[in-house]
Amino acid sequence: MEKLKVDPITVEVLGNALLSIAEEMGGTLVRTSYSTNIKERKDCSTAIFNEKGETIAQAAAIPVHLGSMLGICKEILEKYSLEEIYPGDMFIANDPYNGGGTHLPDITIAQPVFYEQQIVGFVANIAHHSDVGGRVAGSSSGDSTSIFQEGIRIPPIKILKSGVINNDIIEMILLNCRTPSERLGDLWAQIASNRIGEKRVGELIDKYGNSLFQEGMSEFLLYSERKIKEGIKKIPDGVYNYTDYLDDDGIDLDKSPLPIAIKIEVSGDRILLDFTGTCKQVKGGINVVKTALLATIYYALKAVIDPSIPSNAGYYNSIEVKAPEGSIVNAVPPASVGGRTDTCQRIVDVIFGALAKAVPDKVVAGCNSAVSTVLFSGIDSRKNDFFVYPESLGGGLGARPFKDGMDGVHVHVTNSSNLPIECLEMEYPIMVERFELRKDSGGAGEHRGGLGIRRDYRILESVEFASHADRQKFKPWGLFGGKSGEPGLFIINLEKENQRVLSSGKVSEVVLESGDILSAQTPGSGGYGAPLKRELEKILNDVIEEKVSQDLAEREYGVEINLSKRTIKKRENLVAKGDEV
């Protein structure tokens, strides 16, 4: 192997040290933040950049946050010349179109790191603020039609100048938020986190000297580049296509379906992802800006190619992306973006779908791939107080080349935890009637798709219901003969006289009265491989475990089951169908 400028041991140690700093920044942010969203759900990320604003090291983070990290320093350096940036400055931004953000609740704060009067890098962190103003509580809503309805927009501006806080800006931000004291606490935590990062990077440079530090950072980027290129080389050269469809945008329900199309070209160590053919941006808030698209792609390729690649610019720069401007995957102002994760999730599915033809043993079948989110708001008469209760639900993770999918999990770019039932019943006038896996929602296959979730909410006092969710019309697809999983749905008063199914996954201002039951049923996921190849023992076990009904099992898998005797046998006269996608 060719000799590196900095030896491979120092590169590893330096990379470790930078990661450790990013983690300490994250620890500080979580520890000193105010809101539950950051403290308990850890909805935040931290990173370190070089002087060009390229990401060097990023703490284990929410994948979609990568997007804001990609944008922030670039936007700062476009707006400010190096002469206009001083030690102790800090920049704040959240705007998807001018501030590198991906949606408004994610506020990024970045600080330049100086060494001997020179900018040597940046540190930054991002926190999901639970409200930044706008049309609805919580800011993000499936049915906002413009970014202006989604909260305060902040371009990159100095929140600190030479170490002095600019209170005017803080006042202005707080006035635009519904829960200002919580916001202030979280902003302070973000500032504290950067200060720690800046100090630690300085100490690291003291130890290694600036030139070794800089060269080490460059080598660390080259290292990621080598790793991703090694990975791409293992993908057979070729052109791979896939198209999947979003249900609707929650506004123009007749404009359905909404295609997301991809063409992936692989040649040697190059990979190009081309989204030509994807639908135009839409009125509803499921548009994705470029940085969020990139973050999603980086997630998907890392998961397929090599989960151990450090998330940094050396990796990012090796990926080529073509996305038509003004499309749903590269939106332009004033498109609303609050529900962007539904689309991000589907982009990952589309990438997996295309790559299935190239690397069938590295991908999973179609997943629940929405962030099925329900939101209840109203007055709790016990406390005589207005409340907003959002909850996002997982679903099936697609079947895998060597095993079944996972039941009832968050997939792809999110992985948040839900609020315990005992907490939510204490806090809100709502009871959960059931929380269980949806039988028969996983697609049949040699490997079965993961199951979706059913969660029923009993309303105790009149509330307003809103949601954003997808995959209620287009099923999570199977691979290589595996069957599709079941789509999701929201039903009010299931199997009662006044039952009604909601027309879209994206609704708002639906009034639910005391006694109503809202049943949120999330999508399962697709199967992998022909059902007839499934081991009999697994089919029987699924039926015993009531994850698959006897009916469906006998139909899809061509078997006869005697449940009381626990026996299973193949029906005769069956011919296995060939493998097909």
Number of chain residues interacting with another protein (CB under 8 A): 82
Burial class (CB in 10 A: 0-12, 13-18, 19+), 318: buried
Which one of residues 415, 503, 562, 567 is an interface residue with another protein (CB under 8 A)? 415
Widest pairwise Cα distance in the chain: 81
Cα 458 to Cα 394, 462, 493: the distances in Å are 20, 11, 9
Q: Which parts of 486-515 interact with another protein (CB under 8 A)?
A: none
The single residue among 258, 437, 444, 489 that binds another protein, judged by CB under 8 A, is: 437
Q: Which residue's CB is nearer to another protein, number 353 or number 408?
A: 408
378-381-382-383 Cα dihedral, nearest 10 degrees: 70
Of 128, 227, 346, 447, the residue at the interface with another protein (CB under 8 A) is 227
44-73: contacts with another protein (CB under 8 A): 60, 63
For the chain, count helices (H), then strands (E): 12, 22
- Return d(Cα 298, Cα 362) in angstroms, integer: 15
Smallest distance from another protein to CB 406, Å? 6
Does 419 bind another protein (CB under 8 A)? Our answer is: yes
Residue of 27, 87, 180, 277 interacting with another protein (CB under 8 A): 27
Q: x/- site string to another protein, residues 441 to 470, per CB under 8 A?
A: ------------x--x--------------
Pairing of strands 270-274, 319-322: parallel
Q: 349 and 367 in contact (C-beta within 8 Å)?
A: yes
Smaller CB distance to another protein: residue 73 or 300?
300
The string of DSSP letters for 501-530 reads: E-SSS-EEEEEE-TT-EEEEE------BS-
Residues 373-402 within binding reach of another protein (CB under 8 A): 393-394, 397, 400, 402
Q: Is 165 in the site for another protein (CB under 8 A)?
A: no
Residue ranges in 534-563 that form contacts with another protein under rule CB under 8 A: 544-547
By CB under 8 A, residue 204 contacts another protein: no
Least distance (Å) between residue 197 CB and another protein: 12
Considering only 40, 171, 320, 560, the residue that binds another protein (CB under 8 A) is 40
| Interacting positions 95-134 with another protein (CB under 8 A) | none
Four-residue CA torsion sign, 475, 436, 410, 552: negative
For every residue of 357-383, DSSP letters joined together read TT-TTT-------S-EEEEEEEEETTT
Instruction: Check binding of 360 to another protein (CB under 8 A).
Output: no
Selected from 13, 164, 172, 581, the binder of another protein by CB under 8 A is: 13
Q: Which member of 178, 195, 410, 483 binds another protein (CB under 8 A)?
A: 410
Q: How far is the CB of 29 from another protein (least distance, A)?
A: 10
Q: Contact, 42 vs 30, CB < 8 A?
A: yes
Nearer to another protein by Cβ, of 210 and 417: the residue is 417
Of the chain, the end-to-end C-alpha distance in Å amounts to: 41
Query: At CA 80, angle to CA 79 and CA 82, rounded to 5?
Result: 145
Backbone angles phi, psi at 410, to 5 degrees: -75, 145
Residues 274-303 binding another protein (CB under 8 A) are: 299, 302-303
- Interatomic CA distance for residues 246 and 387, integer angstroms: 31
Is residue 226 near another protein by the rule CB under 8 A? yes
